Amino acid sequence: MAASLNSSESDRSSLGGQSASSRSNNRSLRVAEKERRRNEAEDPFVLALKYFSVVEAGTPVVGNDDFENNLVLVERTAYSQGLSPEAISIMLEFAMSLRMGTAPCARVLKCLIPASVVPQEAVVRAAVWLSVGKIPISTQVLFIKWVLTVFDMIDAKDQLRAIYGFIFSFVTEENLCPFICHLLYLLTQKESVRVYRVRKLLELQSKLGRQPFLLHLLSLYKVFCPELVTLSIPSRMRGAFRNHVSPWKAALTAVQKRNGSLAGSSVSPALAVRDKSGSRKRKHCHLQLPALTSVASDGARSEQTSSRTLVPLAHLQSFDQLLKNVHRIELPAQMGSLLGSSVALQYLDCIQDESALLRLNFWLGCALHEEFLFCGDGATQTSEALQFLSRLLSAQHFLQEGFSSSDAFLYKFLNVWDGSLLRPQILCLLSNIPVIPSSQIRKLLFEPLTQLFFTSSLFFKCGLVECLNNMLLKWLTWHSVYALEDDLDISLNSHTSLNITLSGFKDSVMELIHFVGHLASVGLQLEGCHALLLSFVLDFYETVCDTFLKFGLPLVVMPPAGVFYPAFFATDPVSVDRLAHIMHRYKVNLTSAKRQEKQKEQAFHISRQTFQEFNHCVVFMVNCLWNSRMFYPGSDVQPGEELLLGSGVPRYWASFDFIHHPAFVSYALDFHQKCWPSRKEMDLSSIKDSKPWSWYLDYLFSQGFDGLKDFLKSNISRQAAAVDEQQR
């Protein structure tokens, strides 16, 4: 058995360390080969492998020093450099054949850390040993767990898929079932979904209850063949297969890191060529995306593709080629690789292949959970995580929507986030979250975010407001695209069956706007109305004020007083100008909403209160800036006359007009100097006269305060007309 294995190995990779025979008839080569073999013969590791490949069945384990020494040697190599593909084959064969009984089996399995790839043949052969039936169940579980752990490193999956039915037969074994289901999930193709398999799984489900691992496999079956699976599957399921976390993972990572620089040279060229685009990347850094590889190994590929006429995505280089073959695409073995290839992303975008998205989401969910929520001992390498998230983000950016698994991950992650780990990436991911129903939004998003917002620095506050602004923009854009097609029932995401009504959507948007309003008011108060934070808040309200005209959503929400007054009393003219611009846009939106409401008598209705709030704000601004009447009946603050006189502020009612507002007083001074250069005495109130006043306004507008210009034009009709006349 072992000998035949060796020869088949040598066919595959003639330069592999232990391959016995070279069929070359070149003499000098043969000499060199001899030399090499002599060197190898002295290598104790090679000897150890040789021992395991030829050891007789029935050799006792207890008191066998040879065995002990050799196994220790293999273990040491495995944990330091990992095992070569040939060594994996030999050791796996040794363990699973139980040549020395069941005792060493588990021990050997535990040290099977691959240095590069795992040969598929070895896995298939070992799987066959499972059915011989002498292996204890715990060891069988261990073996399947090992396969799951190294699944991404198995060099091809075609033969494993060929024995799908064989693997499926183990599903009835109760202890193995969760792990077998996971393995099947990774191997399932459309052809593997059969009626009798579905029936078997349903039968199991009625026996074991609605187990997540069964549901996950069934949901994949349902995607492939919806007519076979009539079962209703919950739209979001508990993360099912938690089978990765094991000592192997840690050992594997350690070995991969250590081998990082060596991998290129230590793997034989034959493998290197085949695997050039293969899982090499994943070897270096476990968080990097695997590269595109096709399912079948190279040798088998030619005949297989011709018979099934499928084109692996990895072979496509351009969009043109994708278009030509779009009806017969073969998905890669590792769905994660889709994220890294633009052609694959285009495929995902055009075809809306549900099974591809399901598998991709599954992979992504596992990867994100493992790396960010259930970390091992070694801290996650920030640079790796950074790269990974950037790739994910660029993929999401390309597809213009998030992945449901990354959303589910974020909801959990926000609850344990320190607010600074990978902040830009996490905030960016957060802004890609699709609309959440208003009943859930508070628990899922607002509560963790409130806690983070108020305990973090100013920069976090700014970042979060910006992120929520982007989120709102995406929601609104999404609405403006999909609402045209269907007025009431809009799908939450182009791939889920989750629907949300227009009023539900409006509720969610309103919740979000009110939430940011709350954060902004209190945040500005805590940070002493910091200009930076104010600027981000105004950014947000620039989006909010245009919801009706820009995005067609009949919803107008005014800023709370905690945002309006700090912006109005700001000492920098830019904030005041932007506030004026926002108020102007509110007016345009409200008037056009009112006009439409009258014309069409549509169902939508903007509440009276919104108009009142708006009028209140505008009246206050006009009174302050234009009429020099700080306090008037009906304003928010009405201190007593004596109190105002007692304050000793001269002409207190004019403190915030265009001339005396702290943001504009420097402009007034400058204007005064330019207007009357010969005057020695500064008298700002002389600007109030009608002629200099209109000049002063022109001067202000020439400084680029377009927001104020628009605001005045739309709100002060008489004067604006007069100014126009004067200009003519």
Partner 1 sequence: MSLLKPFSKLPGLNTANILLVENQEQLQHMLADVLVKETPLTVTVRLAKSLPLPVDESRPRIDLVVFIINLTSELSFQSAEDSLKYLDPGYFLGKVCFMVTNARHASVPTERLDALRRLAASLHCPLLFAEDQTPEGVIGAAERLLTILKVSAGVVPMTTALYLSNLTRCTLPPDIDQPSFD
At closest approach, how far in Å is the CB of 519 from partner 1?
9
At closest approach, how far in Å is the CB of 528 from partner 1?
7
State whether residue 652 is helix, strand or coil.
Answer: helix
Pick 391 or 412: Cβ nearer partner 1: 412
Nearest residue to 371 (alpha-carbon basis) of 358, 390, 384: 384
Sequence-distant (6+) residues with CB within 8 A of 693 are 687
User: How many CA atoms does the CB half-sphere of 22 hold within 13 Å?
Assistant: 19
Pick 234 or 260: Cβ nearer partner 1: 234
At closest approach, how far in Å is the CB of 478 from partner 1?
16
Distance CA 195, CA 77 (A): 47
Pick 562 or 707: Cβ nearer partner 1: 562
Pick 261 or 415: Cβ nearer partner 1: 415
At closest approach, how far in Å is the CB of 376 from partner 1?
6
Which residue(s) pair with 114 in the sheet? 83
At closest approach, how far in Å is the CB of 588 from partner 1?
35
Whether residue 124 contacts residue 163, with contact meaning beta carbons closer than 8 Å, is answered with yes
Pick 300 or 421: Cβ nearer partner 1: 421
Distance CA 338, CA 346 (A): 10
At closest approach, how far in Å is the CB of 617 from partner 1?
22
- What would the 3-class secondary structure string for 432-489 be? CCCCCCHHHHHHHHHHHHHHHHHHCCHHHHHHHHHHHHHHHHHHHHHHHHHCCCCCCE
Distance CA 117, CA 271 (A): 9
At closest approach, how far in Å is the CB of 381 from partner 1?
11
Pick 26 or 382: Cβ nearer partner 1: 382
In single-letter form, the type of residue at position 142 comes to L
Distance CA 264, CA 672 (A): 75
Distance CA 371, CA 249 (A): 11
**Two tokens at 398?**
């390309």
Burial class (CB in 10 A: 0-12, 13-18, 19+), 81: middle
Which residue(s) pair with 312 in the sheet? 330
Pick 332 or 448: Cβ nearer partner 1: 448
Sequence-distant (6+) residues with CB within 8 A of 52 are 70, 74, 90, 91, 94
State whether residue 154 is helix, strand or coil.
Answer: strand
Pick 119 or 504: Cβ nearer partner 1: 504
Nearest residue to 531 (alpha-carbon basis) of 503, 567, 498: 567
Whether residue 660 contacts residue 625, with contact meaning beta carbons closer than 8 Å, is answered with no
Pick 526 or 588: Cβ nearer partner 1: 526
**Two tokens at 611?**
């108009």
Nearest residue to 667 (alpha-carbon basis) of 639, 648, 695: 695
At closest approach, how far in Å is the CB of 431 from partner 1?
19
Pick 313 or 444: Cβ nearer partner 1: 444
At closest approach, how far in Å is the CB of 594 from partner 1?
34
At closest approach, how far in Å is the CB of 497 from partner 1?
11
Q: Which residues bind partner 1 (CB under 8 A)?
A: 234-239, 245, 372-376, 379, 382, 408, 411-412, 415-421, 436-437, 440, 443-444, 447-448, 450-451, 454-457, 492, 498, 522, 525-526, 528
